[in-house]
Amino acid sequence: QLQLQESGPGLVKPSETLSLTCTVFGGSISSSSYYWGWIRQSPGKGLEWIGSISYTENTYYNPSLKSRVTLSVDTSKNQFSLKLISVTAADTAVFYCARQRVWGQAFDIWGQGTRVIVSS
């Protein structure tokens, strides 16, 4: 049973960089059948897709966040990561990682989410 788990700091200061990692358990990240995505959820903006990456490091991003986001993948660790620079309070959210099925482009398996607060 594939599982995803987010990890990273729960508190980030304004103007700093938010860094999160998603570890994939019970299966390999190195599959051409899937992309790996990040989605966040905040009371003000609902569910917002951040970006997705393949194990070959093909990436695509939400245009509204593209200038601040970098996704990366480490197949040796079965992990993929998110970096969001220059954060503000508006970036406070629960961040989810998810498996994205290429066929149907559906986020079919999600991590439990990690809450990140941006505050000094």
Partner 1 sequence: DIQMTQSPASLSASVGDRVTITCQASQDIRNRLNWFQQKPGQPPKLLIYHASSLETGVPSRFSGSGSGTDFTFTIASLQPEDFATYYCQQYDNLLRFTFGPGTKVDIK
For partner 1, the binding residues (CB under 8 A) are 37, 39, 46-49, 52, 60, 62-63, 96, 98, 101, 104-108, 110-113
CB of 30 to partner 1, least distance (A): 20
- State which residue, 37 or 73, has the beta carbon closest to partner 1: 37
Residue whose CB is less far from partner 1, 96 or 118: 96
Rounded Cα gap, residues 46 and 43, in angstroms: 6
Q: Give the C-alpha separation, 69 to 63, whole Å.
A: 10
Considering the complex, state which of residue 46 and residue 88 has its C-beta at the smaller distance from partner 1: 46
Q: CB-based contacts of 103: which residues, under 8 Å, 6+ apart? A: 33
> Nearest Cα to 97, choosing from 2, 11, 31?
2
